[in-house]
Structure 1
C-alpha cells in the first residue's frame, strides 16, 4: 500500500466544508429520532411501548421513502428535491412534540412522514459529494463521510438523553427539526451535480439499471444485519455474563468511535486489490471480530472485540459505496445510494425481529454466532454474483435512460 501525497488536505475546500455542515445537519436528526421518540412517549399513557412503536414506524418510513423518492432524484433539480424532503421532515419533527398528547394514529403518521420525507437525502447528498471532487479523491471523500457519520451516531444517544432529561422530553425532536430546516436552506449553496458527459440526457434511471446493483445491496444488508445482531444482543449478553447492562451505552459508543477512526484511516492510504475484494475481506474480518464477543472473557474482552469490529466495519461501509459507484453508471448513483440505504434499514429491521426469536430459543452467544453465520452465507452468495456478472458498467459508458414511470 502507498501513502497518498495530499492526504485529506485536498478536501479542505470551502465547498467541502459547506457540504460537511449540510451533511451533519441532515444526519443528526436521523441518528437522534428513534431514541428521541422513546423519551417523548415514556411519560405518556402509551409509555415505552408507544415509543418503540413510533421508532419502528419512523424506520419503516425511511425504508419506504428512500427507494420511492431516491429513484426520482433528477439532475438539475436535485437540490430542490432534497430541500423539499428536508423541509417536510423538519415540519414532521417539530409537530411530534407539539402533538405528543394526540391520539396514537396521529403520532404514527407524523413519525412515518418524518422518516420518509428526507429519506432520499443520504443518497442525494453523497452523490453531490462524489461529483464535487476529482475521481482519485472519491475514496477519501467517502471515508470522510463515513467518519462524520460515525461521530454523529456516537454523539446522538448522549445528546438525546441530556436534552430529554434536562430540558424537555420533546427537545431532541425540536433540535432535529431546526437542523433539518437549516440543511434544507443550505443545500441550495451546494453545487448542482452535473453529468461528466454533456451529451448524456438527464432523466430518471431505469429500474433494471438500479437492480443490477443487487449483489452490493445484498452485502450491505448482510453487514447491517451483523451489526444489528451485535447491538441488539449486547444487553442480553452482558446480563448473561452477570455484567451491568448499563455498559451497553459506552460499549456501543466506543464501537461507533472506532468506526470513525477506521474510516479516517482507510482514506489515508491507497489499499491493494479491488474495492470488491477489499469489501469482502473487511466483512470477513468484521464477522470474526463480532464472533470474538462470544469468546473473549469479561467486559475487557467484549470491549476489545467491539472496538476491532468497529474499525473494520467502517471499511465495509466505504468499500460498498465505492463498489456501487463502480458497478453502476454515474446518472444512477443518487438513486442507487438511496436504494442501498433502504435495503440496509430493511436488513436491520428483519434482523431485529429474528434476534428476538433467537433469544427466546438460544443463549445470547448462540444468537450472535447465528447472525454471523447468516451474514457470511449472504456474503458468499453476493461474492459469487458479483464475480459472475462480468465487468460492471462505468461512468464513461452510455446508459439507456427512461422516465421514472417506465418499466425495466
Structure 2
C-alpha cells in the first residue's frame, strides 16, 4: 500500500484554504544583543523514527557548532496536522524562518506568500534529483535530502513459475505483456490478487497513478501553462487509462482491499506497485529472490512518481535570518548527510554524489535500480498552486472509476472541477 508519509498526497488542508491571498508573513525578530541570530525551524517530523530524528539533530548541531552567527532551533509537529499549523501561522503572520514542505505543495505555498525563493547556487540545486527540488514559476523554493520512488516489487521465483519475462529498464514490459502476466498469475489461483496498484478507494491516488496515466499519454493538467485539465485528464489517452484500471478491478487482477499493511510482504499478492519504504523489509524477507522492476510502458515511456519532503525559507525571515537559513541548507546538502539519511532510513539519495556512497543505492547495490529510476524516469506532480485541488479531485475520480463509475463522464467532471478552481483563482497567476 502507498504510505502517506512517504508518498505525500493531500497536504494542503481544506479547499477553502487553498486560495489564500499572498501574505506578508513575518516571524519573531531575533532579540537584541550580541548572541547568534535565532533561526526558528518547523518540520512535520513529530513521531518520526529514531534514525530520522537523530539525523536531523546531527545536522542542526553540526551547523550550530560550525559558526557563531546563527543558531537553528528545531520544532516538530504531527504530520497530519502540520499543514493546518503552517496555514494558521501564516494567517497570524507568525511563520518561522525554515519550513519543511512537501514538494507538490511548494507552488501553492509560494503563490500564497508563505515561501521565498532560495538564493542558492545553481550548481548546488542543479545536482538534486527532480523530486528533491521544489520549483514554481522558474524559481527554486525548497531542497531536500531524499525522495521516495515506486517500482514493481516481485519475486524471481514467482515470475519463473508462470513463465513471465523479467523486465529491465532497457526493455520494460509492454502494457500487453503486463496484462498477460497478471492474467497468468490470476489463473494460478495462489494469490488473492496478482497485483496491488494503490488504495482502491482513491486515497492518495495522485502519487502512484499519474506516472501510469502519463505512460498512456494523459496527464493531470496541461503542463504548458497549467491553465486547464481539459483534453489531458479527460482525453482519449486518459480514458484508456481509466478503462484499464477499471478493467483490472473487474477482472480481479488488482487487490480491492483497503486493509492496512503490505499485501506483498504478507504474501497475499504476487506483485506490488510500491515504494522504497518497504524495500528493506522485502529484502529481509525474500532475499535474493526479490526484484525491483521498472513499471510497464503503455506506449509513452516508463514513469515513476517523484516529490518528497523538502525544506524552504519563509517570507517570515529577516534578511539576516534568510542568510543564515541558506547557509544551513548549503551545509546540510553535503553528500555525507544525504547518504546517511539513505543508509539509515532506506530513502533514495537526492544527489548522485550521495548515491555513490550510500550502500544499497550505489552502483551495484541492492537498490541501485531505484536510483536509476529516480534519476532518469521520475515525474514530479504538476508545479502549480492548483495542485492541492487537483490532488483531491483526482483521488476521488480514481476511487469512483475503480468502484465502477463511468470512465468518460467521471474524468470529464474531474477536469471541469479543476478548471473551475483555476478560473476562480484567476489562473493562479504570479502576484
Q: TM-score, normalised by structure 2?
A: 0.22
Q: Higher strand fraction: Structure 1 or Structure 2?
A: 2
